[in-house]
Structure formats: structure tokens, C-alpha cells
Amino acid sequence: MATVSRVLSRFPSVDKKNILKVEAAVAELKFRPNISAQRLVKGSNNTIGLVIPSYPGVFHSFYGIELIRGVGHACEVARQDLVLHITDGRNSLNIGYLGGVIFADIIENSGQIRSALASGVPCVVINNVVRDMAVSYIAVNNYKGGELAARHFVALGHVRIATITGNLKTQAGFERLDGFMKALDDSSISVPEEYVFRGDYSRYSARVGAERLFNLKNRPTAIFAQSDDMALEVIAVAHERRLRVPEDVSVIGFDDSPQGMSAAVGLTSIRQPVFEMAERGVHLLMELISGRRKENLHLLLEPELVLRDSCAARPAMVRSRTRR
């Protein structure tokens, strides 16, 4: 049995006659080796876990698709198997068979990360800045993304500015809102409570939010929807009400998705490098697994405002520019 194991594991010291005998027997019996067992014998594990918190719309969003695509592509290049784990933070995470784990966001599942770290399993967190655990992370500066949206509206002369938030249980959601509100406050623009609708990144929440905002007596002239999916739904509701985009209402999204680029009204958006973040997360994890990196890495990627056709200056701003 030891000889058979050495042949299947491609040990170079096995006699050629024995190799031929074993290979003939394997072909006759249609034997398939246990890959996991082979990896345990070799002391290696080529399986990476991707843990994604469960929240509405995650797999229907550009963010979710790009996240899985980026991690999957990097794993394929690195010849790593990928196991996807969806969690609400309450179900257990079996990490015994994983070589490393990537945690995408942290929503009520920080205990899973602490458990993995305590077990000595290499971990990387993406799309979340982690300040209370000794773990590597790669995240996007969501606070700055919110600031960019607010400042663009202000520069266009808007003062009635609203937002439909993402899921405020996510760090991305509340940091985008914080950056947005702080930038408006710095510009001395007040935001009524009814101008802030709490969404969850889904199109449904955006539709409900847009209906409420458009029903207001003093409806906003500018709306920051904190994902492109939500922004496109806001535009759809506006068109149903015969409101023109951007003449009657300007809209900014967040993601810079292909759908926003090819929409009837090109969507101005905050670009976040999701694919790059996911891909670099795998590269970083491989460095930790191999021992090439000993220290944790903390990396914050910058968002970018992408201008298209869904925003316009208010008429007063246009008149003032004409006089000049």
C-alpha cells in the first residue's frame, strides 16, 4: 500500500516496474485517488474559502458578481480550489479543510474571523477596514466615495440633495453615508430627515425610496443612490413619473457597473475597484499561506468619480455661468 501511495503521489524514488504495475491496476479498477487525503499527506492544502455575509441583493448586484469573479479568477491562476460560504453570522464555519479564508465584509460574523485566526488559519478581509483584530485587509475608501458624490452635487448648484443608503449594517453603507453627510455639512447644506431613506442595496428598496422622495412637496433635485442598481431604479421611477433625468433630478450611483454605462441615460457613478480588491485579496492570502509575508497588510483603495449624463447644473447655476 505504501508503494501505491508513493506512485499516486508521484514520488521520484519509486522503481519504474512498480509504477507500471500500479498504473495498470489503477486503470483496470478505475480507481480515483482522494485529493484531500493526498494534500494532507503532502502537508499542503489548495482550497481557499470565500465567506460572504448574507444580505438582500448581494448576488444580484454588480458588487457581488465582481467580488466572486475577481476571487475566482485569482484562484484559477493560482491553481487553488474555491469554496463559497454564505453566512448570517450564526451558522458555524468549518475551516479545518481550508488552506486560507477570505472574508468579504463583516456583518455580525466577526466571531468567525476570530475563530479562524485563533486556529492559525491565514485570513484576509476585503471591503472592510478592521481596527479591532490583527488581520490583513484590503478595502475601499467608502467615506471618500460619499464625499465625492456630495461635492459634485454642490458644485452643480444643488441644495435639495437626498440619498438612498445601502445596508447600514455594512461598513460600506454607513461610511458612504457619513462621508456624504459630512461633505454637505461642510458646504452649509442641511439635509432634512425625510431626504435620507435607508435602503439595503436592492432595487426594491430603491423603488420604495424614490417613490417617497418624489412624493415630497419639496422633492429633491439630486439623489445619491449608494449602488448603481439602486440608482438605475431611481431613474426608472423618475421616468414613470415623467420626470426628466438630469433636467428635473440628477442621480449619482456607486460601483460604475456596465449597466450604468449602457443605460438610456449614462449614469454618473463612483467607481470602486471591486475586481482589483478581490484579486489582490487572493494574492495577499497566498503570500500569507506560503509564508512569504509575515506581517499583516492594511491597504485602502481610492474610489473615483466617473462623469456621465445623469447629472446637470441647476438652472440658476446655468444662468450665472451664461452671464460670465
pLDDT greater than 90 at residue 215: yes
pLDDT given at position 89: 67
Question: Looking at the structure, do residues 250 and 178 belong to the same domain, yes or no?
Answer: yes
Structurally, the chain folds into a number of domains equal to: 2
pLDDT given at position 245: 97
Question: Looking at the structure, do residues 287 and 265 belong to the same domain, yes or no?
Answer: no
Of 293 and 106, which is predicted with more confidence? 293
Cα angle, residue 226 at apex, residues 263 and 265 outer, rounded to 5°: 15
List phi, psi (to 5°) of 119.
Answer: -85, -5
Q: What is the mean pLDDT of residues 125-138?
A: 95
Question: Looking at the structure, do residues 267 and 290 belong to the same domain, yes or no?
Answer: no
Of 31 and 206, which is predicted with more confidence? 206
pLDDT given at position 15: 54
Q: Residue 76 belongs to a domain with what CATH number?
A: 3.40.50.2300
Residue 257 lies in a domain: yes
| Contacts of 140 by beta carbon, 8 Å cutoff, 6+ apart | 127, 172, 272, 273, 274, 277, 300, 301, 302, 303
pLDDT given at position 36: 43
Closest CA to 87 of 69, 107, 67: 107
Average pLDDT, the chain: 86
263-321 confidence digits (pLDDT tens): 989 999 999 999 999 999 999 999 999 999 999 999 999 999 999 999 999 875 544 44
d(CA 236, CA 272): 23
Question: Looking at the structure, do residues 315 and 185 belong to the same domain, yes or no?
Answer: yes
Query: 94 pLDDT band (50/70/90 cuts)?
Result: confident
In this structure, are residues 85 and 103 in contact, taking their beta carbons and an 8 Å threshold? no
Residue 41 lies in a domain: no
pLDDT greater than 90 at residue 186: yes
Residue 219 lies in a domain: yes
Question: Looking at the structure, do residues 246 and 285 belong to the same domain, yes or no?
Answer: no
Query: 67 pLDDT band (50/70/90 cuts)?
Result: very high
Parent domain of 162: 142-272+306-323
Question: Looking at the structure, do residues 292 and 239 belong to the same domain, yes or no?
Answer: no
User: pTM of the predicted model, to two decimals?
Assistant: 0.81
Q: What is the mean pLDDT of residues 73-102?
A: 86
d(CA 91, CA 142): 28
Query: 20 pLDDT band (50/70/90 cuts)?
Result: low
Q: What is the mean pLDDT of residues 56-80?
A: 88
pLDDT greater than 80 at residue 169: yes
